[in-house]
Amino acid sequence: MNIVVCVKQVPDTWAEKKLSATDKTVDRESVDGVMNELDEYAVEEALRIAEASGGEVTVLTMGPDKSVETIRKALSMGADKAVHLVDDGLHGSDALATSYALAKAIGTIEHDLVILGVESTDARMSVVPAMLAERLGAAQLTFARKVEVGGGTVKIERLTDTGYDVVEASTPAVVSVVEKINEPRYPSFKGIMAAKKKPLTTLTLADAGIEADKVGLGGSATTVGDVAARPPKQAGQIVKDEGDGGTKLAEFLASQKFI
Amino acid sequence: MAEVLVLVEHVDGAVKKVTLELLTLARSLGEPSAVFVGSAAGNGGADNAKAKLAEYGAAKIYVAGDSELESYLVAPKAEVLAQIVASSSPAAVLIPSTPEGKEVAGRLAVKLDSGVITDAVGVDDGFTARQSIFGGAFNVSSTVSRGTPIITVRPNSTAPEPSPAAGAEEQVSVTLPDTAKQAKVLDRVTEKKGGRPELTEAAIVVSGGRGLGDGSNFALIEKLADSLGAAVGASRAATDAGWYPHTNQVGQTGKTVSPQLYMAIGISGAIQHRAGMQTSKTIVAINKDPEAPIFELVDFGIVGDLFNVVPQLTDDIEKRHSS
Ligand SMILES: Cc1cc2nc3c(=O)[nH]c(=O)nc-3n(C[C@H](O)[C@H](O)[C@H](O)COP(=O)(O)OP(=O)(O)OC[C@H]3O[C@@H](n4cnc5c(N)ncnc54)[C@H](O)[C@@H]3O)c2cc1C
Ligand SMILES: Nc1ncnc2c1ncn2[C@@H]1O[C@H](COP(=O)(O)O)[C@@H](O)[C@H]1O
């Protein structure tokens, strides 16, 4: 099984996230970037499947130059090679444009499976995996907490509102994973050293056959209008329990008309 | 008036509250048409559903009732919507902002080459969607600048109000392309605990975390929740330990809730947990650690042992109810 795993560099989980004042895109310059947490689970799952069934794992990321840090991390975890889609023309791409560009880049890589995290912590849209399945004409196997691969089919347990669905498809398929699926490994020292020698291909729009007017701010189909920072929340009242904490809390709830 | 499509969320024909909210919202933007996909075997069949949709303002109800549509994941629903959009050119499509709803919206956006906006908390004139991003730190308004606006709207964004309309039924027969029939659903397993309000719809949510120490202690949470008519939530630590079903997990990879009152009990307030609850109107926490990050969010917090505080609180609430 050859696998493409899509990872995104996002602002550090605990960093205060901002929108750029000039074009209202996520400000990626002023904060440290990390690999989107859920994508670590995607990398782990890809490595496990490749280890069990043979095949290569290619990391794919679309993002500015500094996203190469995230590529390095995935390579240190054990991925075989990487593709970095980077071009100024991609800046400001919305989900529709991002899924188009990623699909084009995936088209340059031989693969049976594409694995992603279910959601990025910055956009929080949770749509790119389904959009990729639609674009690639591949089976959609998303929100997986368990993936089984064998004999050209892939079977997952998909988390749902009320439990889970068992869903099966033949390859090629697009799989997105939740955090219940595995425990991502830490890169070892050996892995970090090895990563430096692994092949990394950089693609521009032209290299990937991406039409420039379908990506970036201009090619996106959504426009951000007004942005307003919410006034800071007033500090709440915190009371130490002196034996009457439950009663105090009941009084508060009553004062707010919840009881 | 411009037609606005609303994708109906239902379980075997029982229409979810979020659908009624979306119909109410759609009435302020144009003339709502409901799109019902599925065979609705239970709950009195599609008839009950149709009556409900008409009651809340659906002028038209498109019914795609072929049972084949339910045998494959997500893709058929996007296909149904795409075919209706092609034949009726609506002004916009509104879809509940649930994990599946967002996926349907994403696929539809690709099919139509239209913009998609997710997690709207309101939609104004001109289909301007209001969103709350970065954990509620910013309010943003966005519009779709190409194609038919596709907007997913969060549950609890609008108060549902009846306003009877014709509910004229129109059967749609959809031919699924092979690409929509790749992901076969072999089984649907229900793990949910019944009997309490739905997490995403409830006005009050009471959640328990690792501080409970053991699954059996969730009885304390349930008793408190029942005294308030609340839904029960859980942190990932609690669901991963098997103390409560994952369907009740609140957070980044669980459910996003935005109730009038959220109570976090024995929950530290990790960023992934906050991601699912920090836009709640009023937040209350009980935690024995005064440094727990959850206290940064609260309107009212008790530093104390939940095993003392919760029973006293529940008793007090019950006394107030009976007096
Ligand atoms: C990719 C990813 C996704 C995640 N998604 C989610 C998600 O969707 N939802 C989620 O919740 N988490 C999620 N997490 C996990 C999250 O990071 C935390 O680990 C989790 O929320 C912790 O749960 P907790 O607060 O119950 O446990 P802890 O952090 O262990 O906190 C327990 C709290 O209970 C208090 N306590 C203990 N005993 C008592 C007592 N007797 N009385 C009062 N207080 C007591 C302690 O002081 C402590 O603050 C995710 C993590 C990752 C990496
Ligand atoms: N720019 C990107 N480069 C690579 N992968 C991405 C990118 N954007 C999104 N993804 C993948 O799509 C998943 C869902 O993202 P989203 O739909 O934005 O919440 C992420 O977890 C990533 O695996």
Residue B39 CB coordination number (10 Å)? 17
Query: Could you report the predicted ipTM of this complex, rounded to two decimals?
Result: 0.95
Measured in angstroms, the CA of A194 and the nearest CA of chain B are apart by 32
Tokens for B223?
């008793």
Cα A127 from Cα B138, distance rounded (Å): 21
Cα A171 from Cα A140, distance rounded (Å): 10
The atom of ligand 1 lying closest to the CA of B294 is 49
Contact B134, B78 (CB under 8 A): no
| DSSP-derived secondary structure letter, A234 | P
Cα B252 from Cα B274, distance rounded (Å): 8
Whether residue A172 has a cis bond before it, omega within 30° of 0: yes
Q: Which of A95, A142, A248 sits opposite B116 (nearest CB)?
A: A95
**Least CA distance to A154: which residue of chain B?**
B183
Which residue(s) pair with B190 in the sheet? A163
Question: CB-based contacts of A218: which residues, under 8 Å, 6+ apart?
Answer: none
Tell me the per-residue pLDDT of A52-66, one tens digit each, with 9 for 90 and over. Answer: 999 999 999 999 999
Question: Using a 6 Å cutoff on CB, does residue B289 contact ligand 1?
Answer: yes
Residue B322 CB coordination number (10 Å)? 6
Which ligand number lies closest to the CA of residue A94? 2
Q: Which residue from A171, A3, A177, A176 is spatially nearest to A78, judged by alpha carbons?
A: A3
Query: For position B44, what pLDDT does the model report?
Result: 58
Q: Which residues of B touch A16 (CB under 8 A)?
A: 137
Which ligand number lies closest to the CA of residue A121? 2
The atom of ligand 2 lying closest to the CA of A60 is 4
Query: For position A18, what pLDDT does the model report?
Result: 80
Q: Which residue from A160, A151, A225 is spatially nearest to B98, judged by alpha carbons?
A: A160
Cα B273 to averaged position of ligand 1 atoms, centre (Å): 7
Confidence of residue A204 (pLDDT cuts 50, 70, 90): very high
Measured in angstroms, the CA of A209 and the nearest CA of chain B are apart by 18
Which ligand number lies closest to the CA of residue A36? 2
Query: For position B43, what pLDDT does the model report?
Result: 53
Tell me the per-residue pLDDT of B124-151, one tens digit each, with 9 for 90 and over. Answer: 999 999 998 887 788 899 999 999 999 9
**Least CA distance to B73: which residue of chain A?**
A140
Question: Domains in chain B, please, with CATH?
Answer: 3-181 (3.40.50.620), 199-322 (3.40.50.1220)
Name the residue with tokens 């004409």.
A137
The three-state secondary structure class of B182 is coil
Contact A74, A7 (CB under 8 A): yes
Tokens for B191?
């793990």
Please, how many CA atoms are within 13 Å of residue B27, restricted to the half-sphere of its CB?
A: 20
Report how far Cα A87 is from the mean position of its chain's Cα atoms: 19
- Across the interface, do A238 and B303 touch by the CB < 8 Å criterion? yes
- Across the interface, do B183 and A167 touch by the CB < 8 Å criterion? yes
Cα B295 to averaged position of ligand 2 atoms, centre (Å): 32
- Across the interface, do B138 and A140 touch by the CB < 8 Å criterion? no
Cα A61 from Cα A48, distance rounded (Å): 20
Residue A230 CB coordination number (10 Å)? 13
Question: Using a 6 Å cutoff on CB, does residue B253 contact ligand 1?
Answer: yes
Measured in angstroms, the CA of B315 and the nearest CA of chain A are apart by 9
Strand A163-170 with A81-85, pairing = unpaired
Cα A8 from Cα A2, distance rounded (Å): 20
What are the pLDDT tens digits along chain B (323 aa)?
Answer: 899 999 999 988 889 999 999 999 999 999 999 999 987 655 556 788 999 999 999 999 999 988 899 999 999 999 999 999 999 999 999 999 999 999 999 999 999 999 999 999 999 999 999 998 887 788 899 999 999 999 999 998 999 999 999 999 999 999 999 999 999 999 999 987 678 998 998 999 999 999 999 999 999 999 999 999 999 999 999 999 999 999 999 999 999 999 999 999 999 999 999 999 998 999 999 999 999 999 999 999 999 999 999 999 999 999 998 87
**Least CA distance to A255: which residue of chain B?**
B300
pTM comes to 0.95
Cα B295 from Cα A247, distance rounded (Å): 19
Distances (CA, A) of B202 to A140, A142, B215: 31, 27, 23
Cα A234 from Cα A136, distance rounded (Å): 48
Question: Using a 6 Å cutoff on CB, does residue A69 contact ligand 1?
Answer: no
Question: Using a 6 Å cutoff on CB, does residue B246 contact ligand 1?
Answer: no
Q: Which residue from A1, A118, A253, A140 is spatially nearest to B180, judged by alpha carbons?
A: A140
Q: Which residues of B touch A169 (CB under 8 A)?
A: 182-184
Tokens for A73?
């991390």
Cα B53 from Cα A165, distance rounded (Å): 27
**Least CA distance to B227: which residue of chain A?**
A259
The three-state secondary structure class of B188 is strand
Confidence of residue A237 (pLDDT cuts 50, 70, 90): very high
Q: Which residue's alpha carbon is nearest to atom 51 within ligand 1?
A: B272
Please, how many CA atoms are within 13 Å of residue B3, restricted to the half-sphere of its CB?
A: 16
